[in-house]
Structure 1
Amino acid sequence: MKVLLYFEGEKILAKSGIGRALDHQKRALSEVGIEYTLDADCTDYDILHINTYGINSHSMVNKARKLGKKVIYHAHSTEEDFRNSFIGSNQISPLVKKYLVSLYSKADYLITPTPYSKNLLEGYGITVPIASISNGIDLNRFERSEEKEEKFREYFKIQKNQKVIICVGLYFERKGIVDFVELARKFPEYRFIWFGHTPMYSIPRAIRTIVKEEHPENVEFPGYIKGDIIEGAYSAANLFFFPSYEETEGIVILEALASEQQVLVRDIPVYKGWLENKVNCYMGKTNKEFANLIEALVEDKIPNTCQAGYEVAKEKSIERIGHELKDVYEKVLGNESIEQNEQVQ
């Protein structure tokens, strides 16, 4: 078995969750001994596993069909998570949905990260079988490290006993960036650091203004940082606060959980079935609730859920994801009678 992993616009999307998903797929396939290639000109593969939905991606699917190859589409994107992102995203989201449906319907099988995103796709009227498989997490990479934590503290000049709240994400309204900044205003004694970057020309003026000018002194936007510093931040911070309104999974949450970090998220449907309030994370719905939880968690006034959160990450390790991907590949190649919309657990 040989798989062609196709990822259009790799340089542009490398800093996004989709970019990290590709890295996880490569690792997962290696773990279970499946040969793969990234060469789009390759013709001796058995399955095209495609991750993106640009014009070239459309052409790759058509080319694979002409070659008689099997096609698996990794449905990272939905209309719902396209909204409230780039300039004009809300206006064109219905067209994006139609385009996604046309692409996804060309596949032999769809893979999407969560049961929630699977349900969304079913609601689009897609009849292709759908497997729910997490994007996975590299547990070793995010294992707590004093050396990495010290690099983070040195880079940001974190003072002893200074409380730090972090988030990782693109500069999208959907990610809850407005709420992150507003809550920071309520806690001037804490440092709020938002890791991640999005080209300023591509986001609405209101978000650009927040990032460049209109945020309090205790909020920092250092941009995209990788390696030891961000990995140290995940475990050394006092709280990972992710107020996103819409996700298909949220790889950054898995990264925080794998770092044994305390996680606070918005109570939204995507987390149903794997995150549980007050068990492996805390959840809030309003900024008032978030404010109460931030203060209580940072000041250790309520029990932490770090260890239970780490157990969630273990269940989504790259090794396990590799076996789940292999199962889908074998079904597609074996031409078995595939039950519609079977969920891979």
Structure 2
Amino acid sequence: MKVLLYFEGEKILAKSGIGRALDHQKRALSEVGIEYTLDADCTDYDILHINTYGINSHNMVNKAKKLGKKVIYHAHSTEEDFRNSFIGSNQISPLVKKYLVSLYSKADYLITPTPYSKDLLKGYGITVPIVSISNGIDLKRFERSEEKESKFREYFKIEKEQKVIICVGLYFERKGIIDFVALARKFPNYRFIWFGHTPMYSIPKNIRTIVKEEHPENVEFPGYIKGDIIEGAYSAADLFFFPSYEETEGIVILEALASKQQVLVRDIPVYKGWLENKVNCYMGHSNEEFTYLIKALVNDEIPNTCQAGYNVAQEKSIERIGHELKKVYEKVLSIDIVEQKEQMQQKN
């Protein structure tokens, strides 16, 4: 079995969750001994596993079909998580939905990160078989490290008793960036750091203004930072606060959980079945609730859920994801064998 992992615009999307999903897929397939290639010109593969939905992705699907290859579409994107992102996203989201449906419907099988996103796709009227498989997490990479934590503290000049709340995400309204800044105003003695980057020309003016000008002194937007500093931040911070309104999973949450960090999220449907309020994380519905929870969690006034959160990350380790992907690949190839047998029987 050989798989072609295709990812259009890899350099552009490398800083996003989808970009990290590709890295996880490569690791996962290596863990279970499945041969893969990233060469789009390759023709000796059995399955095209495609992650993106640009024009070249559309062409790759058509090419694979002409070659008689099986196609698995990794449905990271939905209309719902496209809204409230880039300039004009809300206006064109219905068209994006139609385009996604047309692309996804060409696949032999769909993989999507959560049961929630699976239900969304079914609601679009897609009849292709769909399975939910987490994007997974590299547990070793996010093990707590004093060296990494020191690099984080030195880079940001964190004082010994200073309280730090972090978030990781693109500069999208959907991600809750407006609420993140509004809540920071309520806690002027805490440092709020939002990791991540989005080209300024692509986001609405109100979000650009918040990032560049209209935020309090205790809020920082250092941009996209990878390696030891961000990994140290995950474990050294006092709280990972992710107020996103819509996700298909949220790889950054898995990264925080794997770091044994306390996690606070908005209570939205995507977390149903794997995150549980007051058990492996805390959840809030409004800024009033978040205000109470931030203060209570940072000051250890309520029980932490870090160990239970880590247990969730363990269940979604890359090794486990590799075995789940392998099962889907084998199922898709076995469908092909059944079809060939049926065709032979009809000829006879």
**Band of TM-score, shorter chain:** over 0.9
Q: Which ranges of 4 or more aligned residues in structure 1 deviate by more than 3 Å?
A: none
Letter in 2 for 1:38: L
Q: Distance in 1 between matches of 2:195 and 2:246?
A: 18
Mapped to 1, the partners of 2:263 and 2:291 lie a distance apart of 14
For 1:53-202, list aligned pairs within 5 A.
Answer: 53-202=53-202
Counterparts of 2:230 and 2:172, CA distance in 1: 20
Q: Post-superposition shift, 1:258?
A: 0.0
Whole-Å Cα distance in 1 between the matches of residues 65 and 172 of structure 2? 36
Query: How many angstroms does 1:180 deviate by?
Result: 0.0
1:145 Cα offset (Å): 0.2
Which residue type is aligned with residue 19 of structure 2? G
Q: So what's the TM-score if we normalise by structure 2? A: 0.97
- The answer to whether 1:244 aligns with 2:244 is yes
**Which residue of structure 1 lines up, in the alignment, with residue 277 of structure 2?**
277
In the alignment, what sits opposite 2:315? 315
Deviation at 1:306, TM superposition (A): 0.1
Where 1:3 maps in the other structure, the secondary structure is strand
Mapped to 2, the partners of 1:63 and 1:247 lie a distance apart of 31
SS across alignment from 2:18: helix
- Give the alignment's Cα RMSD to 1 decimal: 0.9
Task: Report what 1:235 is aligned to.
Answer: 235
Paired position in structure 2 for 1:31: 31
Q: Which amino acid aligns with 2:39?
A: D
Shift of 1:327: 0.1
Task: Name the % identity.
Answer: 91
State the distance in 2 between where 1:160 and 1:312 align: 30
Aligned to 1:343: none
- How much does 1:243 deviate? 0.0
Question: Equivalent residue of 1:240, what SS?
Answer: strand
Work out the CA distance in 2 between the residues paired with 1:189 and 1:151.
22
Superposition TM-score, scaled by structure 1 size: 0.97
How far apart are 1:261 and its partner, in Å? 0.0
| Structure 1 residue matching 2:28: 3-state secondary structure | helix
2: CA distance between counterparts of 1:281 and 1:160?
25
Question: Using the alignment, how far apart are the partners of 1:291 and 1:252 within structure 2?
Answer: 22
Aligned residue identity for 1:234: Y
Q: Which residue identity does 2:161 align to in structure 1?
A: N
SS in 2 for 1:335: helix
The one-letter code sitting in structure 1 at the alignment partner of 2:304 is: N
Amino acid at match of 1:29: L
The yes-or-no answer on 1:9 pairing with 2:12 is no
**What is the CA-CA distance between 1:163 and the residue it aligns to?**
0.1
Q: Secondary structure at the match of 1:151?
A: helix
User: Quick one: which amino acid aligns to residue 181 of structure 1?
Assistant: V
**C-alpha distance in 2 between matches for 1:274 and 1:148:** 28
1:265-310 deviations in Å (ceiling 9; x for gaps) = 0000000000000000000000000000000000000000000000
* 1:202 maps to amino acid: S
Deviations 1:69-101 (A, max 9, x none): 000000000000000000000000000000000
SS in 2 for 1:197: coil
- For the residue of structure 1 that corresponds to 2:142, the secondary structure is coil
Distance 2:67 2:281 in 1: 47
2:292 is aligned with 1:299: no
- Count of paired positions: 338
Unaligned runs of 5+ in 1: 339-345
User: Within 2, Cα distance between the matches of 1:335 and 1:106?
Assistant: 16
Q: Which amino acid aligns with 2:178?
A: V
**CA offset at residue 156 of structure 1?**
0.1
CA distance in 2, matches of 1:291, 1:31: 42
The one-letter code matched in structure 2 to 1:111 is: I
CA deviations 1:51-77 (Å, max 9, x no partner) are 000000000000000000000000000
- In 2, distance between residues paired with 1:11 and 1:266? 30
Q: Distance in 2 between matches of 1:267 and 1:164?
A: 22
Distance in 2 separating the partners of 1:296 and 1:200 = 35
Q: Give the letter aligned to residue 200 of structure 1.
A: M
The SS at the match of 2:265 is: strand
Structure 1 CA distance for aligned equivalents of residues 308 and 205 of structure 2: 40
Q: Distance in 1 between matches of 2:160 and 2:26?
A: 39
Looking at structure 2, the residues matched to 197 and 335 of structure 1 have their Cα atoms a distance apart, in angstroms, of 42
Shift of 1:38: 0.1
Distance 1:297 1:307 in 2: 15
Please tell me the residue identity of whatever aligns with 2:5: L
Aligned residue for 2:167, secondary structure, equals strand
Name the SS for the 2:314 alignment partner. Answer: helix
